[in-house]
């Protein structure tokens, strides 16, 4: 049977992710499938707590997946932002060759 603390921790993680979406720290489309999985897991865990019927949800694993999904998304956005914000310059070697470099 699921512990109340496990359920509360999962709910808090989903709230954190939604807050990051709200404040544009992560894009919704990047975390939507993970949020869906988290909310479905929460629903099953609540049902387990109320009815006693096993949910077959590993709350710790689900929390780990939610946490990792946000870390991966934030890291990808930082890398993409760094690439987008770089200035590109063109250096000519001679008339037939050009090299684009990232400064």
What mean pLDDT comes out for the span 9-37?
91
Give pLDDT tens digits for 59-76.
889 999 888 887 777 655
Give pLDDT tens digits for 83-96.
555 554 545 455 55
Looking at beta carbons, which pairs linking 83-90 to residues 24 or more positions away fall under 8 Å? none
Domain coordinates of the chain in residue numbers?
4-102
The rounded mean pLDDT for the chain is 78
- Specify the length of the chain in residues: 103
The pTM score is 0.65
Q: What angle do CA 59, 65, 67 make, to 5 degrees?
A: 100
């Amino acid at each position: 049977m699921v512990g109340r603390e496990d359920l509360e921790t999962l709910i808090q993680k989903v709230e954190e992710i939604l807050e990051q979406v709200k404040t544009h720290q992560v894009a919704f489309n990047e975390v939507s499938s993970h949020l869906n999985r988290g909310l479905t897991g929460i629903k099953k865990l609540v049902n387990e707590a109320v009815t006693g019927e096993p949910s077959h949800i590993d709350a710790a694993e689900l929390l780990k997946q939610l946490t990792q999904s946000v870390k991966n998304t934030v890291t990808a956005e930082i890398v993409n932002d760094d690439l987008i914000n770089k200035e590109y310059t063109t250096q000519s070697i001679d008339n037939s060759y050009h090299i684009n470099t990232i400064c």
